Amino acid sequence: MTAVTTAFDKAKAEDRAALVGYLPAGYPDKDTAIKSALAMTEAGADLIEVGLPYSDPLMDGPVIADAVYQSLRNGTRIADVLDTVQAIADAGTPAVVMTYWNPVDQYGVEAFARDLSNAGGSGLITPDLTPEESGDWPAVSDSYGLDRIFLVAPSSPEHRIEKITAASSGFVYAVSLMGITGTREALSDAAAGLVSRTRVHTKLPVAVGVGVSNRTQAAEVAGFADGVIVGSAFVRALGGASDGASAVQAVRELAAGLAQGVRRQ
């Protein structure tokens, strides 16, 4: 049993969905990013996604893409990502890295897995990696005790969902709608159906991301999913703050509201 599995099991035992928060490492600066991630956990987040900044973030909408660009301009490197992961893990909360595959491939798959494991990381979310193209990653991740979190989408046919879930561990990331990340005024009607279709093929928890931005939406997703993933809303809270302390407080307040939302009434 991994730390990710334990987090979802704890949420289930409390009759609620798990809250998963995302922040890119190094935004608006390394210290504020770490303090904000820790504030998330103190306010009720069960799992933190640490974004590895990448120059071509295909899945990300303008809020996250701009933050990632700023992080890269700040000089954020993989070592800074690992430092962020370690700070979260040392505080007792599972941390996974959200990354496109090219940085991992360039770093070296085994070297990345080794260093992530040594930092206390729990796994990788890889939005542009398919099971067929994952190469040595399944064997390497198993050897270092890291979870492989693949994505399913509303457009995924049944045979794809079956293959993706079979290759996954920790949880399955269900993208609520087609398109880039970002907050939405209303959630896609496809999200609940995708969760139902995914559960046919796996006993892993299914967490829904893309579009969730407030307590009401978190409560809606918690009604049918095992986890609620929030990213752009946290990044927007950081970007809208006047200074580091205000940024951390904004993230803390948003996380507290979302943590209430995932508790089923």
- Check whether 182 has a pLDDT greater than 50: no
pLDDT tens digits, 225-247: 999 999 999 999 999 899 999 99
Quick check: 50 and 23 in contact, CB under 8 A?
yes
Q: Which residue range(s) make up the domain with 209?
A: 3-260
The active-site residue out of 14, 46, 56, 60 is 60
- Six-digit token pair at 174? 């269900």
User: What is the tally of structural domains in the chain?
Assistant: 1
Alpha-carbon distance of 203 to 214, in angstroms, equals: 28
DSSP 8-state code for residue 16: B
The one catalytic residue in 46, 49, 80, 147 is 49
pLDDT of residue 210: 76
Query: At residue 92, does pLDDT exceed 90?
Result: yes
How many Å apart are CA 80 and CA 78, to the nearest integer? 5
- Select from 107, 89, 105, 109 the least CA-distant residue to 48: 89
Q: Is residue 265 part of a domain?
A: no
DSSP string, 10-54: HHHHTTBPEEEEEEETTSS-HHHHHHHHHHHHHHT-SEEEEE---
* pLDDT the model gives residue 186: 46
Q: Is the pLDDT of residue 179 over 60?
A: no
Query: What is residue 177's predicted lDDT score, i.e. its pLDDT?
Result: 62
Q: Is residue 238 part of a domain?
A: yes
How far apart CA 219 and CA 235 sit, in angstroms, is 20
pLDDT digit string, tens, across residues 108-167: 999 999 999 999 999 999 999 999 999 999 999 999 999 999 999 999 999 999 999 999
Residues ≥6 apart with Cβ < 8 Å to 28:
67, 70, 74, 238, 239, 244, 247
Residue 181, pLDDT score? 45
Asked whether residue 256 carries a pLDDT value surpassing 50, the answer given is: yes
**What is the C-alpha to C-alpha distance for residues 62 and 234, in angstroms, rounded to an integer?**
13
What's the CA gap between 177 and 85, in Å, rounded? 28
Q: For 31-82, write each residue's pLDDT tens digit.
A: 999 999 999 999 999 999 999 999 876 677 789 999 999 999 999 999 999 9
The answer as to whether 228 is a domain residue is yes
Q: Considering the domain boundaries, does residue 199 fall inside one? A: yes
Distance CA 67, CA 189 (A): 29
Active site residue 60: yes
What integer pLDDT is reported at residue 61 of this predicted model?
A: 78
Tokens 């005790």, residue located? 145
Q: What is the CA radius of gyration of the chain?
A: 17
CATH of the domain at 175: 3.20.20.70
